[in-house]
Structure 1
Amino acid sequence: MVDSIESSRAVGALGALAQEHRLAVFRLLVQAGPEGLAAGEVSARLGVPPSSLSFHLAQLAQAGLVSQERRSRSIIYRADLAAMNALIGYLTENCCGGIDCGVEGVACDAASEPALGAA
């Protein structure tokens, strides 16, 4: 089961992703998987200047969406997949008011959630 997050953390994560460069950085790091990417590689692949990239990576880290590790002279950034999955779980936990909505990968449990409009 996906760990639940509180709404203030969800707002912070969504706010961090609500910017074109940060969303692109996060998606690239998700694609890179557990190996992550060096900041210079992210900058080169996305065409974002290193000074701007540093700001965007800091925002993603503050939101808990990326982690960093120093490796020799490089800093390796990785997407925090557990945080991403928790955010997705938070967004879908009450999907369709518990009615089967037919969205693959979203478990709607009609027995545990009241239908929309129910008192």
Structure 2
Amino acid sequence: MKKNVSGCSVEEAMRVIGGRWRLLLVSYLLDGSKRFNELRRDMPDISQRVLTLELRALEEAGLIVRTVYPEVPPRVEYRLSDDGERLRPVVEVVKTFGLWLKARPEPQDAE
């Protein structure tokens, strides 16, 4: 992950949860643990490679926990850590904002 250059707390938060997929991944994990392919089904437009990279970044940040079960074939589940649960209100605010954006009239072009 890139490093925070301004020292701003908003930049620090966006460094960890920014981008197209990370907060969306967190939102899907708010309901409980999921396997890799469940997340792929929830997010059909994400590539396998990008999903893997985003999950690793969230795990590195301490926001999700990856559990590998000793089975054949191995079963891997992802869940939010206690720190990741702190994102619940953030997801709710972003969801509310998204609903507002979808409901508002399209801005008119200035002529």
TM-score, with structure 1 as normaliser: 0.54
1: CA distance, partners of 2:24 / 2:75: 20
Number of the residue aligned with 1:41: 38
2: CA distance, partners of 1:14 / 1:49: 22
Q: 1:60 aligns with which of 50, 54, 58?
A: 58
Deviation at 1:84, TM superposition (A): 3.4
Question: Is residue 67–residue 77 contact of structure 2 (8 Å, CA) maintained in 1?
Answer: yes
Give the superposed CA RMSD.
3.0
Number of the residue aligned with 2:28: 28
Number of the residue aligned with 2:105: none
TM-score, with structure 2 as normaliser: 0.58
Number of the residue aligned with 2:17: 17
SS in structure 1 of the partner of residue 21 of structure 2: helix
Question: Is residue 65–residue 80 contact of structure 2 (8 Å, CA) maintained in 1?
Answer: yes
2: CA distance, partners of 1:66 / 1:85: 9
Q: Which runs of 5+ in 1 are unaligned?
A: 1-6, 89-119
Deviation at 1:16, TM superposition (A): 2.0
Number of the residue aligned with 1:105: none
Deviates more, 1:50-59 or 1:67-76: 67-76
- Identity score, percent: 20
Question: Is residue 26–residue 84 contact of structure 2 (8 Å, CA) maintained in 1?
Answer: no
2: CA distance, partners of 1:29 / 1:58: 14
Query: What pairs with 1:77-116 in structure 2 (closer than 5 Å)?
Result: 77-80=78-81, 82-84=82-84
Structure whose CA Rg is larger: 1
Number of residue pairs matched? 80
Question: Is residue 13–residue 65 contact of structure 1 (8 Å, CA) maintained in 2?
Answer: no
